[in-house]
Amino acid sequence: MRERQLRARDMLRGDLEGEELERYVEEKVVMTNFEKMLGWARSNSIFPLTFGLACCAIEAPISIVTARYDLARFGAEALRASPRQADMIILSGRVSIKMAPVVRRLYDQMLEPKWAISMGACSSSGGMFSNYAVVQGADKFMPIDLHIPGCPPRPEAVLYGFTKLQRKIQGNPDQGWRARYRAEGSEEWARGGPRSAPSGEAAEAYSAARELLRA
Amino acid sequence: MAEQLVSHRGELVEDRTSEVMTVNIGPHHPATHGVLRLVVDLEGEVVRDLKPVIGYVHTGIEKSCEDKSYWKVIPFVERMDYVSYFFQMEAFCGAVERLIELEIPERAKHLRVIFLELNRIHSHLVWLGTTALDLGAISMLWYCFRERDRILDLFEMATGQRMHTRYFQVGGVIEDIPRGFEQKLRSFIADMPVRVEQYQALLDRNEVFLSRTKNTGIVSRERLLELGVTGPLLRAAGEPWDLRKAFDYLAYPKFDFKIPVGTIGDNYDRYRVRVAEMVESVRIIEQALDGLPEGPFIADDRKYVLPPRSELSTSMESLIHHFKLVTEGYRVGPGEIYYAIESPRGELGCFVLADGSAKPARVHFRDPSFINLQAFKDMSTGSYIADMICSLGMLDPILGGVDR
Amino acid sequence: MPDAPGLELIRGEIEAEHPGAVLDTGFSQERAVLSIDPAHVLAVLSLLRDAPGQGYRFLSSLHAADYLPAEPRFAVHYELLNRDRVERIRVKALLDDPAANGNEKALPEIDSCVEMFPTAEFQEREVFDFFGIVFNGHPDLRRILMPEDYVGWPQRRDFPVGGEPVTFTYNEKNYG
Mention every residue, 6+ apart, whose C-beta is less than 8 A from residue A43.
Answer: A165, A166, A167, A169, A170
**What is the C-alpha to C-alpha distance for residues B90 and B74, in angstroms, rounded to an integer?**
9
CA distance C157 to chain A (A): 14
3-class DSSP state of B329: coil
Of C146, C170, C174, the CB nearest to A191: C174
Q: Return the number of CB contacts < 8 Å for B and C.
A: 95
3-class DSSP state of C100: helix
Phi and psi at B346, nearest 5°, equal 145, -155
pLDDT at A198: 56
CA atoms within 13 A of residue A54's CA, in its CB half-sphere: 34
Distance of CA A68 to the CA centre of its chain: 21
> Does the pLDDT at position B288 exceed 60?
yes
Chain B residues within 8 A of C146 when measuring between CB atoms: 55, 58
Q: For testing the chain C interface, which of A94, A96, A98, A125 should be mutated: the one with the most C CBs within 10 Å?
A: A98
pLDDT at B16: 63
pLDDT digits (tens, 9 = 90+) for B5-27: 666 776 666 666 667 889 888 88
| Subunit contact C88:B349, Cβ cutoff 8 A | no
Q: For testing the chain B interface, which of A51, A95, A99 should be mutated: the one with the most B CBs within 10 Å?
A: A99
**What is the C-alpha to C-alpha distance for residues C48 and C36, in angstroms, rounded to an integer?**
13
Structural contact between residues B309 and B52, judged by C-beta atoms closer than 8 angstroms:
no
**What is the C-alpha to C-alpha distance for residues B221 and B232, in angstroms, rounded to an integer?**
12
pLDDT at C176: 37
**What is the C-alpha to C-alpha distance for residues C57 and C88, in angstroms, rounded to an integer?**
11
pLDDT at B93: 92
Of B59, B142, B148, the CB nearest to A96: B59
Q: Is A136 on the interface with B (CB under 8 A)?
A: no
**What is the C-alpha to C-alpha distance for residues B284 and B257, in angstroms, rounded to an integer?**
7
Please give the residue that has the higher pLDDT: either A193 or B336: B336
Of B27, B60, B130, the CB nearest to A99: B27
pLDDT at B251: 84
Chain A residues within 8 A of C170 when measuring between CB atoms: 210, 213-214
Q: What is the end-to-end Cα distance of chain A in Å, rounded?
A: 76
Phi and psi at A41, nearest 5°, equal -65, -45
Chain B residues within 8 A of A58 when measuring between CB atoms: 82-83, 126, 163
Of B54, B101, B351, the CB nearest to C63: B351
ipTM > 0.90, yes or no: no
Q: Is C160 on the interface with A (CB under 8 A)?
A: yes
pLDDT digits (tens, 9 = 90+) for A145-172: 889 998 888 888 999 999 989 988 888 7
CA atoms within 13 A of residue B6's CA, in its CB half-sphere: 7
User: Looking at chain C, which subunits does it touch, using at least 3 CB pairs closer than 8 Å as the criterion?
Assistant: A, B
Structural contact between residues C108 and C96, judged by C-beta atoms closer than 8 angstroms:
yes
pLDDT at C137: 87
| Subunit contact A58:B142, Cβ cutoff 8 A | no
> Does the pLDDT at position A197 exceed 70?
no
Mention every residue, 6+ apart, whose C-beta is less than 8 A from residue A5.
Answer: none
As a dihedral over the C-alpha atoms of residue C66, residue C70, residue C76, residue C79, rounded to 10 degrees, the angle is -100
Q: Does domain A40-180 have CATH number 3.40.50.12280?
A: yes
Residue of A nearest to B27 (CA): A102
Give the whole-number percent of chain B exceeding pLDDT 90: 23
Q: Is A96 on the interface with B (CB under 8 A)?
A: yes
CA distance A210 to chain C (A): 7
Q: Is B340 on the interface with C (CB under 8 A)?
A: yes
Q: Is A214 on the interface with C (CB under 8 A)?
A: yes
pLDDT at A189: 62
Residue A205: how many CB atoms within 10 A of its CB?
Answer: 11
Q: For testing the chain C interface, which of A131, A195, A212 should be mutated: the one with the most C CBs within 10 Å?
A: A131
**Which H/E stretch holds residue B372?**
helix B368-372
3-class DSSP state of B111: helix
**What is the C-alpha to C-alpha distance for residues B378 and B228, in angstroms, rounded to an integer?**
13
How big is chain B, counted in residues?
404
Strand partners, A146: A117
Window from A180-184, B297-301, C96-100 with minimum mean pLDDT: C96-100
CATH topology (fold) of C4-175: Beta Polymerase; domain 2 (3.30.460)
Domain ranges in chain C are 4-175
Give the whole-number percent of chain A exceeding pLDDT 70: 90
Residue of C nearest to B228 (CA): C119
As a dihedral over the C-alpha atoms of residue A136, residue A141, residue A143, residue A149, rounded to 10 degrees, the angle is -20
| Subunit contact C163:A136, Cβ cutoff 8 A | yes
Q: Does domain B61-403 have CATH number 1.10.645.10?
A: yes
Mention every residue, 6+ apart, whose C-beta is less than 8 A from residue C68.
Answer: C156, C157, C158
CA distance A146 to chain B (A): 22
| Subunit contact B364:C66, Cβ cutoff 8 A | no
Of B30, B130, B403, the CB nearest to A81: B30
**What is the C-alpha to C-alpha distance for residues B168 and B298, in angstroms, rounded to an integer?**
9
